[in-house]
Structure 1
C-alpha cells in the first residue's frame, strides 16, 4: 500500500480513536467527591514530636509531580538535573517530567497521544485551530480555565484581547505563551531626517511630508534624483498595508459594523482613506512604481541600499540589520509604529501568542490537581522565573546593574537555556529589563510594550469559515488585486466597489455569513 493511501486511511482512524479515548476519559467526571479523611489521632501527633503544649511543625509539602509535553527546536534535549529545571522546580515546588518532542513531528505526536489516551498533565499545543484539538475541546477533553483565571495573581492579568484570540466558541481553554501582539511599524532613515532638519512624524500628513522630502530634497546628497520616500512590495496578505489602514481607523482584517456584525476591513470608509493615502504616494512617485511585483526580500535590499527612506517592517528588523552590519555606511535607522489620523493611537496586532498550554481532564481528573497545575502556570509568570527563563542564573549567566540585567556569555546562556524558554509564558510583564542594549533596540522594546495598550485585533480570529478554508487563497488574491488596481489607477472608486461585489459573489458573502454565525453565538 502506498504511503499516501496509508495516511488517508490512518487519519480517520486516529480521529475516531481520539474521540473515543477522550469520551472515555471524561466519563465519571460528575461522580461524587470521596469523603474527607478523618482528623489524625492524638498519637499520630505525638509520633511527630508534638505534645499538648508543643504542637507539631507542619510537614513540608512534597513537590507536586507534573508530566508535560513541550516542543523542542534543538537536536539535544536538556538533562533532567540541569540548573534551569532545578531552579524552576524549587520555585514552584514541583517535580517536572518533561517529554521533549521535535517541532516537525509535534502535531503527529499530539494526535497519537490523544488517540492512545496517554496524555500528560500539561501539554503545549501549537495550534488551537487544528481539527483534533477542536474536536477534543468539543468532546470535553480539556479543562475550561477562563472562570478560574481570576483566582491567580498573575494569570488574572492576562490580556482580554489575547484570551479572545485563543478562545474556542467564546470560552478559554488554554494559557497562552505571550508574543508581543503589535510589533510592526515603519523603519526610516534617521540620518536623512536629520540632514533635512525634520522630526519624526506623528500623523499621516507629517509622514507624507517626510516621504516627499526624501524624494525631492536629495537626502543622500549625491546630487541625483534617485530616492523614494517609501519602498513597498507585493504582499500576499496585506499585513503591512494594514499598518496604515489602522491609522485611519480601519478594522484589522475583520471588525464590527454599526449593527454589531462582523465585516471585512476592505469594505469600510476608513480602509478607503488608507487606499487613497497610498494612491497619493504612488501618483506622486513617492514610492517605487513596481511595488506590485517586487518581492519582500528585494524590497529589504532596496531599502538597505539607500534607494528609499522608509518602509513598513517588523520593528525587530532595523536593530537586527544594524547589528548584522547590513546597512550602508553612515546610515542610521529608526522606527515608529502608530500615527494619529484622528482616531488616536492604533497598532495593528497579530494574535499575541505563540502556542498555548492546555490541561487534559483524563490525566488531571481531580479539581484539586487542576488547581495545582494552574498554580504552577501562574508561578511561571513570577518575576524570578521570568528572569531565569530569559537570562539564566544570576551570577552565572547575568548580573544586575542599575536595576537592569547585563548578560555575560550569550553563547553559554543559549546552550544552558535550550528549550526551557518554551515555558516562559509572559502572561504578565514581570521581567527585569535588559541592560546594555543599543538605543534602537531599547526603543523597539518600549514600542512593543506601549503598542499592546492600543492593539487592534482581528475580531474573527477565534473562528473558522468552511468556505474560506476551501477558497481562501482565491478570495485573498481578489482582495490584493483590487487594492493594487485602485492604487495604480486602473480602476476608480466605482470600479473598486464593483470588485468588492465580485468578491462577495465569489464566496465572500458566505464567509461573512459563516463567521457571523459563530461570532454572534460566542457573544450570546
Structure 2
C-alpha cells in the first residue's frame, strides 16, 4: 500500500472564546504613490494624500516592542501612506484583551483572530450581525492578495463568503524527518510505501544503525502531541478529518473502515517497540532529543523540524544527517488549514468602502517582497547581512535594540501572501533547501478537509469532550488497553455524547454550502 507522507496535524481544531489569541492588527492606507489602492481615486495622480490613520491591536512576543521611532515602522508608514497606532498586547494577556475588546463593541480597524472564525461563537455571531466587512469580491483587485490559495480562503470562509485575510501558513507543511546516515548504514533506500516505512523503523530498532555495537536505538519518537498519528493514518486512505461516503454524506475520519487499518498498524509499531513506549506522556518539548542523541531515527511533523534537528545534531555529531520525505509518487496529501488565523476588518473602525480599500491596500503593499523581508528580518546591514546569497543574522530576536532600529513584533502585520521568504535567500544548508522543496511539492498533492469552513452547535458546546473521547480511545487501542470492540464502544459513546448531532449538523451545513 502506498503511503501518503505527512499531512494533517490535528483532526478538528478545538477552539473557543477562551482560546482566542494572537495579533489583532488594523491596516489601511493608500499606495506609496499616494493613491488609495484600486479605489475610486485618481490612479495616475501624483499628488500625495494625507496619511490614513490606523488603529492596531497586535499580539507581542517580546516586551520591547517596535515603536514609531523605528526606521522599519517609518518605512511601513511611508510606503503605505499611513499613520500607525499600534497597541501591543503580551501573548499571555491577549485572550482577555481580545474578549474585552470584542465585548466592548469599540473595535480597531482590523482584528486578528487566531483561528478559524467559525470556531469562536462571539466572532461568528459578530459576522452574522454585520460587524465586519465582507472582502471576498475585492481581493482580485490587489496584486498580492489575489494570490491567496483558494483552499486557504475556503477554510476561513463563513457561510460561503470571505470576511478575513488569512495569515498564511503552508498547506503542505508536513513531512517525515529521518536519520539519512542511519538509513545508509542499514542498507535501505528512502521509503515510498507503508511496508518500506515499517522496514525502516524495524532496521533502525534492530540493526544497530549507529554502529556502536549496542542494542540501544528505536525507530520513531512520538510524543503526547497526536499529530504523527493524524498524519500517518492518511497513508491508509483515512480522510482529512472528514470524508464523503458513497452517498455523498460527510463522515468523521474515525468512523471510516480505513481508520481501524491505521490503528492496527500503530499498535504493531508499539507492540514491536519500534516507537517509544512512553509516547502517551512524552513531552513534545523534548521531541528532537532522541534523534539528536542517536536514540531514535524518525520524527513525523512539520518539515521545519528536519533542519532544526540536523542543525542541533551537528553540534554533537558532525556525521549525523537528516533526510526528509514529503508526498511521494503523486499521492494526495491532506492539507493543513493553511493559516494561523485571520484579519477581520471592522465596520465601526472602517466606515466606508473607500476606507475599506485603503485597508486592503495596506495589507497588499506590506506583502511586497521587500517589505515582507523587512518585517521578518529587519534592515539589511543592521539586523542581517547577505553573503553569497545567504542571510546571516547580525541581531538575534532576543538582542536588545535601540528604538530607531527596533523591528520586534512588526512581523505580526504580514499575511505572507505570496510566500517570498522561502526563496528570498539561498538556503543555509541542503536540508533547508529540501524543506522548501517538500513544502512546495506537497501543495500539488493535497486533500482539503471539506468540513473546515462548516460549523456545528453541538461541536461548539461539546467539541473538546468529543475530541478527547476519540483521542483517548486511539491511545488505549495502540497500547492494548482496548480491542476493536472496545474502540467501537468508545465511538458509540462519542455518538451518544453529541457526535450524532455533530454529524447531522455538519451535513446540513455541507448541503447548504454545496448549493451556493
TM-score, with length taken from structure 2: 0.80
In the TM superposition, residue 137 of structure 1 has moved relative to its aligned partner by 0.8
Structure 1: segments with no counterpart, 5+ residues: 1-10, 12-35, 38-56
Looking at structure 2, the residues matched to 369 and 455 of structure 1 have their Cα atoms a distance apart, in angstroms, of 37
Counterparts of 1:87-486 in structure 2, within 5 Å, are 87-127=75-115, 128=117, 129-235=119-225, 238-292=226-280, 294-297=282-285, 300-324=288-312, 329=317, 332-338=320-326, 340=328, 344-401=330-387, 403-410=389-396, 415=401, 416-431=406-421, 432-435=423-426, 437-486=428-477
2:67 alignment partner in structure 1: 79
In the TM superposition, residue 516 of structure 1 has moved relative to its aligned partner by 2.1
Matched, 1:523 2:507: no
Looking at structure 1, the residues matched to 319 and 195 of structure 2 have their Cα atoms a distance apart, in angstroms, of 25
Label 1:189 to 1:382 Cα distance change in 2 as closer, same or farther (>3 A): same
Label 1:228 to 1:412 Cα distance change in 2 as closer, same or farther (>3 A): closer
In the TM superposition, residue 299 of structure 1 has moved relative to its aligned partner by 5.9
Counterparts of 1:19-98 in structure 2, within 5 Å, are 59-98=47-86
Looking at structure 2, the residues matched to 219 and 256 of structure 1 have their Cα atoms a distance apart, in angstroms, of 42
Label 1:198 to 1:391 Cα distance change in 2 as closer, same or farther (>3 A): same
Moved more, 299-308 or 133-142: 299-308
Moved more, 80-89 or 118-127: 118-127
Looking at structure 2, the residues matched to 126 and 310 of structure 1 have their Cα atoms a distance apart, in angstroms, of 30
Moved more, 74-83 or 132-141: 74-83
User: Residue 349 of structure 2 aligns to a residue in which SS?
Assistant: coil
In the TM superposition, residue 522 of structure 1 has moved relative to its aligned partner by 2.9
User: Residue 178 of structure 2 aligns to a residue in which SS?
Assistant: strand
1:16 alignment partner in structure 2: none
Looking at structure 2, the residues matched to 328 and 307 of structure 1 have their Cα atoms a distance apart, in angstroms, of 13
Structure possessing the higher relative contact order (Cα contacts under 8 Å, 6 or more residues apart): 2
**8 Å contact from structure 1 (residues 392, 413) kept in 2:** no
Which has the greater radius of gyration?
A: 1
**8 Å contact from structure 1 (residues 211, 230) kept in 2:** yes
Label 1:413 to 1:92 Cα distance change in 2 as closer, same or farther (>3 A): farther
Label 1:474 to 1:134 Cα distance change in 2 as closer, same or farther (>3 A): closer
**8 Å contact from structure 1 (residues 158, 428) kept in 2:** yes
**8 Å contact from structure 1 (residues 321, 327) kept in 2:** no
User: Residue 95 of structure 1 aligns to a residue in which SS?
Assistant: strand
**8 Å contact from structure 1 (residues 201, 339) kept in 2:** no
Looking at structure 1, the residues matched to 384 and 273 of structure 2 have their Cα atoms a distance apart, in angstroms, of 50
Label 1:364 to 1:248 Cα distance change in 2 as closer, same or farther (>3 A): same
Higher helix share: 1
Moved more, 193-202 or 301-310: 301-310
Looking at structure 1, the residues matched to 339 and 400 of structure 2 have their Cα atoms a distance apart, in angstroms, of 22
Residues 436-470 of structure 1, C-alpha deviation per residue, up to 9 Å, x if partnerless? Answer: 61332332233233333334443333334333344
**8 Å contact from structure 2 (residues 174, 300) kept in 1:** yes
Structure 2: segments with no counterpart, 5+ residues: 1-16, 18-39
Residues 5-42 of structure 1, C-alpha deviation per residue, up to 9 Å, x if partnerless? Answer: xxxxxx9xxxxxxxxxxxxxxxxxxxxxxxx99xxxxx
Label 1:205 to 1:145 Cα distance change in 2 as closer, same or farther (>3 A): same
In the TM superposition, residue 233 of structure 1 has moved relative to its aligned partner by 4.1
Looking at structure 2, the residues matched to 112 and 284 of structure 1 have their Cα atoms a distance apart, in angstroms, of 52
Moved more, 58-67 or 197-206: 58-67
User: Residue 229 of structure 1 aligns to a residue in which SS?
Assistant: strand
